[in-house]
Structure 1
Amino acid sequence: MKIVVADRDGVAHELDAVEGWRVMEIVRAHGVKLGAECGGSSVCGECRVRVAPEWQNKLHEPRDEELDRLDEHLAGDDERLSCQLIFSEELNGLTLSLPDAA
């Protein structure tokens, strides 16, 4: 199973993904630079990712804490916190990009 992440330089990385892992953990495990000072507790908002349009409706709705962090960072409608996205078989091929650092 895979996810595809375009880094901040626009370089696409096809990453092996593990079911049950947070997308943040998958990205970081492969050495793609992604902020996550809070370690995945939805506090810092540094692990924002842009979700490709074809995948947006396949993700669960964000919780209030995630929406608060996204609002604080003036995130676009296509952005989510990667620490709040749990990889599953249904997300095989998930395509993301990293927004510019805040």
Structure 2
Amino acid sequence: MVWELAYAAQSMAGMRPDRPVRESAQRLRVFVDGYGLTGAGRPALAGLLGRRARAMYDLLRRGARDGVQPWARIHAEDGVYWRDTAAYLDAHVPVWTAALE
């Protein structure tokens, strides 16, 4: 469940490299509070955000390498976004964790 929520949180809260970290953290908190995630799921989610975005990037990269559609097209259009978003999310896990405490 937290794996799927990581994708939803990143997407719906608009957590991306061109957004200030503090703003992303606030948006994450609002999303997670609204969802109602409690307990150990909150720090677990903070740690999964980057891994989930990287999994998307890896899927797209493999699709591009193997010529599988729609992944190859999406990689060409958005591969850099997913790579950079994964790095951004991984770089700020302590901020995401603090926002969800």
Q: TM-score normalized by structure 1?
A: 0.29
Larger RCO of the pair (alpha carbons < 8 Å, separation 6+): 1
More strand by share: 1
With the length of structure 2 as denominator, give the TM-score of the two structures. 0.29
Instruction: Flag the structure with higher helix content.
Output: 2
Larger Rg: 2
